[in-house]
Amino acid sequence: MHLKLGFISTIVISSAEAAREIMKTHDNIFSTRPKLVAPKILGYNYSDIAFAPYGSYWRQLKKISTLEFLTAKRLESTRFIREEEVKLFLQSISKSSGPIHLAERLFALNHNVIARIIFGDQVDDQLRLQIAIREGTALAGGFQIGDFFPSLGFIAKLTGMNKRLEECFGELNVILDKTIQNHIDQRKLEKPQRECFIDVLLRLQEDGDLETPLTTDNIKSVLLDMFTGATENSSNTVEWAMTELLRHPDMMKKAQTEIRQVISEKANPKLEETDLPRLNYLKMVVKETLRFHTPLPLLLPRESMERCVINGYEIPSHTRVLINYWAIAHDPTKWKDANMFNPERFQNDPRDYRGHDFDFIPFGAGRRVCPGISLGVVNAELSLASLLYHFDWKLADGEKPQDLDMNETFGMTKQNLLLPPGPPKLPLIGDMHRLLHPSPHRALNDLAAKYGPIMHLRLGFIPTIIISSAEAARQIMKTHDNVFSNRPKLMAPKILGYNYSDIAFAPYGPYWRQVKKMCILELSTSKSMDSTRFIREEEVKLLVESISKSLEPINLVERLFALNHNIIARVTFDEKFDDELRFRSAIREGTALAAGFQIGDFFPSLGFVAKLTGMNRRLEECLVELSSIMDKKIQDRIDLCKVKRPRRECLVDALLRLQDKDELDQPLTIDNIKSVLLDVFTGASENSSNIVEWAMTEMLRNPSMMKKAQNEIRRVISEKPNPSVEETDLPKLNYMKMVVKETLRFHPPVPLLLPRESMERCMINGYEIPSQTRVLINYWAIARDPSSWKDPDVFNPERFQDEAKDYRGHDFEYIPFGGGRRVCPGISLGMANTELSLTSLLYHFDWKLADGENPQNLDMNETFGMTCYKTCSLRLVPSLRFPVST
């Protein structure tokens, strides 16, 4: 079949006869490879065995690998390595107290076997190398625009795909360079007792007898080929075999009976590699797995080196050829009941997988047949036989074998689908179009209804997991909190957060732990809260007095924002700002800019566009404005403290004291101090204001709630000798607290919690979350989940009457401030501001809407940003009931 894939003329082969023409009759014409993007970068400019152009260099490499690495003699000499590693593998499974992730264990086993065969020992950076190899394999299996539109290869640089390949290559290169140099140094001291493959290559390089001299880059490319080919394929084959055996218990029983019978007949009943030739049924299971779940459904592409005629059709020179081995292996003219898994089809079938039978070519055929068949198959057979001999097996969580997910992921090799489900992705932008919605949290909730509470999206080039249930949030913020406690590196926090030195976006590590600890001690302990109580009470009193003097309707949220700003100013600097309006405006502009779309956050290689559009410049101008105001305030405070000791130590004093003492693990710079102060201002001012405005909105729409809250407050205050609202009254105001808690559920200030990023690969509910995956927790969806909340779409404060759920991050159905290590450290301060201001507004005033508006007609639309606020601010007419006590 002829296809045009982009600009590339491609022939697709789907029958054994046609495959024979390509891989035998005309093998000399079709033995080269096309020049693809990933093999050029990861294969040291096509110097690996898999993608080297057909010619003398490739023939030399194949000869070396076949004679020096894959002969029967070499396999026998490395048998002890495979048996030792399988033994360790079995011991680790025996010690497991819970379910195991089989594919991961198998990948690690095969990686360790290959490492010892190649390097003589395991690599120092074993895990680092495993992760880099998996990332390289994933990237190589991805879509590369230059492979199909050669003249558009520059787009791969713009989109960042080349950059990701080069970063992965750099990581692999560093590890291999170090390992090779260690071997070179060791060879200078003494001749190795047992020559591993790297010693063979170094010896051949030193001897200088090769037709084409071997460079160090050539050696590294061959080593990478060995790792990628032998680890992934063997692991996937065994996992698929186990999957099918679990789905067919009679096959499992038959395989185990055979193995256990053979081993029981031995004087020393233990499984060894020499037992494998006697395990006929096991071998049939492996062969059927290679047919039914072929690791390479499309064999590595070939390219014609000259014009050729096949079955009467002309194949021009430089035509790409794809052999669809999956189609060949499922061809009903070659295989009876081709769509059934049936190992016994091989009982009297002489067909072999070594490339001579063109209806069974899982490893290819002809000159380009995989040179590592023997090693790969023996790894697969030994590990599968050992698993079946030593253990009986069942699925975790009581899952039924017939309900197993048999989906597969196509890449360099075919494997079980481990990523969470998600919608189809568009080229380049992925799922970005799905967030073009005024309320992204609502759009994501609609998607989660279809794809589930753990959903995979690709936002631009960024793999992103969306969490939409309490149980999944618990996994992220508690079970695996150590993995997901980092933040992604976004543009706005880099600029406005003084290169990620604020509490919210600092990378997880010693510096972040230090600033979080300082803020909790100085702002949120009972002692610190009590010491700043008078500030909150004085500022709320001034708010009430200013509202009392208003002759016109007031914009409530503006008054509240000013109130919270003044409170934070006095808590942090012990005084208000001289240029208060200027600082407030800069804070609001910074918050708005940070919430805007930053192209570099989703297309990292296009970050320069933000400079062209002026977005970077606007962020930098805002930072300059904020910085100049804070520099002056900090310097004023330093000068004051030199003259006299302040009557009360504010947050700036505390931070400067810690800086001067020089006792911190991570020294504090002035920029660090400013970044922490900005965090406190932005977090406390905006959130508290919005919560109170939404609470007032809901009570105006539900007058019975307003009346109930006011009655409670006025009764409690009237019982005091001095009837004024104080912070110590708040614990007695149960209904008011329920109103605030319900507002945090129904109108969360941050519906999508601040993004997290995985620091390493992790499994969540059976799904694989790769390292450096962005995670968004849709708290809005969790707070509206009917399985956790009765009538979730109704505003009902009384649901908290007998409900023990708290907002401090322990109950994952109710996490308005986050949870785990990254929970907001300023909850106590924010809630005190919110409850005191709301209580005072309800005590001192009765309220109605401006211009006679009907509360039922209130605009309830929201605007999504750093916080989710009411689009149309409340304009209210206050009626003073209780003046402020003097």
Q: Which two tokens stand for residue 562?
A: 């000013």
CB 234 within 8 A of CB 383: yes
CB 821 within 8 A of CB 855: no
* Residue (of 255, 416, 238) closest to 343 by Cα position: 255
The torsion angle over the Cα atoms of residues 269, 274, 279 and 280, rounded to 10 degrees, is -160
Distance of alpha carbon 435 from alpha carbon 462, whole angstroms: 14
What is the C-alpha end-to-end distance of the chain, expressed in Å?
Answer: 92
The torsion angle over the Cα atoms of residues 371, 374, 376 and 377, rounded to 10 degrees, is 140
* Residue (of 559, 555, 550) closest to 875 by Cα position: 555
CB 130 within 8 A of CB 111: yes
* Residue (of 69, 168, 164) closest to 128 by Cα position: 168
Alpha-carbon 773 to chain mean position = 2
* Residue (of 361, 366, 408, 488) closest to 776 by Cα position: 488
Task: Give the number of residues written for the chain.
Answer: 886
Distance of alpha carbon 558 from alpha carbon 163, whole angstroms: 46
Distance of alpha carbon 291 from alpha carbon 363, whole angstroms: 11
DSSP assignment of 544-603 equals HHHHHT-SS-EEHHHHHHHHHHHHHHHHHHSS--TTHHHHHHHHHHHHHHHHS--HHHHS
Instruction: List phi, psi (to 5°) of 816.
Output: -65, -25
Please count the other Cβ atoms lying within 10 Å of the Cβ belonging to residue 10. Answer: 18
Distance of alpha carbon 383 from alpha carbon 386, whole angstroms: 5
Sequence letter at residue 340: M
Sequence letter at residue 485: S
Is 641 annotated among the ligand-binding residues?
Answer: no
CB 319 within 8 A of CB 8: no
Distance of alpha carbon 814 from alpha carbon 87, whole angstroms: 46
Residue showing tokens 């907001």: 824
CB 785 within 8 A of CB 779: no
Distance of alpha carbon 160 from alpha carbon 147, whole angstroms: 15
Helix (H) or strand (E) holding 302: strand 302-303
DSSP assignment of 704-734 equals HHHHHHHHHHHHHHHTSSS----GGGGGG-H
Helix (H, G, I), strand (E, B) or coil at 690: helix
Sequence letter at residue 176: L
Residues in Cβ contact with 488 at an 8 Å cutoff, skipping those fewer than 6 apart:
462, 601, 755, 756, 757, 774
Q: Which two tokens stand for residue 501?
A: 């030195």
Residues in Cβ contact with 606 at an 8 Å cutoff, skipping those fewer than 6 apart:
158, 159, 160, 599, 600
CB-based burial, 650-673: b 16+ in 10 Å, e otherwise: bbbbbbbebbeeeeeeeebebebb
**Cross-strand bridge partners of residue 310:** 313
* Residue (of 51, 41, 34, 43) closest to 163 by Cα position: 41
Say if strands 320-323 and 454-459 run parallel, antiparallel, or are unpaired.
unpaired
Q: Which two tokens stand for residue 769?
A: 């979350």
Q: Which residues are annotated as a binding site?
A: 370
Residues placed in the known binding site for heme: 370
